[in-house]
Structure 1
Amino acid sequence: MKADGDGGSKAALYLDLIRWDRPAGWLLLLWPTLSALWVAAQGFPGWHLLAVFVLGTILMRSAGCCVNDVADRDFDRHVKRTAQRPVTAGKVSVKEALAVGAVLALAAFGLVLTTNAATVAWSFAALAITLAYPFAKRHVSMPQAVLGVAFSFGIPMAFAAVQSRVPPIAWVLLAGNLFWVLAYDTEYAMVDRDDDLRIGMKTSAITLGRADVAVVMACYAAYLAIWTLALAPRGLGALFFVATALAAAQAVWHFFLIRRRSREGCFRAFRLNHWLGFTVFAGVVAGHGWR
């Protein structure tokens, strides 16, 4: 093992800080954002916007991890799953983590500057919500709702980038996506419920109590229903509806994973969610490509 001062070792710690080996987090952000890009452009949005939003999503999720770990460092040491995160374990200092996060956020902003004024303006709102979420867990009984807004904000930004405005359908899709975030992040919170209760953290899993499984399933249903109803008038064809049906089948599978509320089942359900989002995205792409 190299010394902590070694550049290679420090780089490995920074990669661990931004969860580089766990891409599920940025994939959960990516699929609804790309779906919105395709809807806004009524098909392929072009390589420039595709690159901006893929790279920007990865960068902002990574920056969010830095802020989250700094904000939660005193709580994470009491949670089995998070006790060895670099900031919590003292391997990366608070200043280092914030500096890494700032560099990543500035890189993402540089990408936004290559789009248009509307997207630049909305990016400030997205940043504010990203910074607010880690602290919502201390004061809001359903902080997953705040995360839902943060993880859905790529949708209006995608419309702004394509159309230089944010039409009503963007907000409808954002509302639907918020239900999906509530579903999968409640599954995530169910993993840590015992630890969170002990340290006084507020989560949807604690607030909902024994209604957690029922509400998670209702949120999946609301997400898929809102997106299907919003996009159905656009004539995306049978492939889109087949994809949403496959996504619904995945949601049903999640019920069997979480119904006993085991840590393993809930964590597995959470980690599988990016496939559900990809399925909806594939349906949107297929609908625009073969209608």
Structure 2
Amino acid sequence: MENTRLAATSAVAAEGTLDAVRATGLEKHYGDVRAVRGVDLTVGQGEIVAFLGPNGAGKTTTIDMILGLAEPDAGSVSVFGRTPRAAIVQGYVSAVLQTGGLLKDITVRETLELTASLFVDTRPVDEVLQRAGIREIADRRVGVCSGGQQQRLRFAMALLPDPGLLILDEPTTGMDVEGRRSFWSAIRADAARGRTVLFATHYLEEADAYADRIVLMSQGRIVADGSAAEIKNLVSGRIVRATIDDADPVALAALPDVDGVETQGDRVSLHTKDSDAVARHLLTHTAARDLEISAQSLESVFLALTSEGDPS
């Protein structure tokens, strides 16, 4: 069956240069707290964008403004050229949140049928059950579903209006490894048909593996925006890992061009701008073995870019 609303969303975007999301100079203050400070963000149709940042970075507030749940104190935001609330009313946007929104005493199918009754036009319930991977539990009461299954149910509910933009908040919380892999396979298939996905997550490996683009926020501002490879290149240096019995972290940290040392048991990780020199020292002056040299991980870049002092 043709994805009518998704096709309509594509037609809307094709009318001009409309993006799925366009935010300019967004500001949001709560008393003396500047939650969002001049955020500019453009998300093109069909992109899968990961929204990362530590707690208090401004991610949730920014998403709330995109969803029309909060009004910006300054700046503007549009969704497919419309106000966020207009886009939601017309079925162009759906959101999957972490908690809430489920009645525990009815079945999975009944939940979707009830949700579908709130819209003028939706995808068939059996179709969204299949796409969310929960068809086999359609007759199970929601209250006895696992956390991961309930999250998949929220995903199915969000797919009912066939939205052009899908916003996910920690979408795989409670899922096992196989469930997460299956979930992201479904998301990528949807994006290939033109759906835009914006997701917030604390699983950095998910952002690295599945996002076309990563937007990193810290203290109310976007501090990095690009592909996973581009983000990793923002922090110079490499990581030298080795197994060293009775390693002296203080002495290793004092080596030239070593920016940081981490230890886990007898495994040592050194962040350095001169990996060759550090590797040479470890192999000739210590009992290092199993030595590896790798590029910066997304986690190390995340920590480096979000650990700066309070911006002015």
TM-score, with structure 1 as normaliser = 0.29
Instruction: Identify the structure with the greater strand proportion.
Output: 2
TM-score, with structure 2 as normaliser = 0.28
Instruction: Identify the structure with the greater helix proportion.
Output: 1
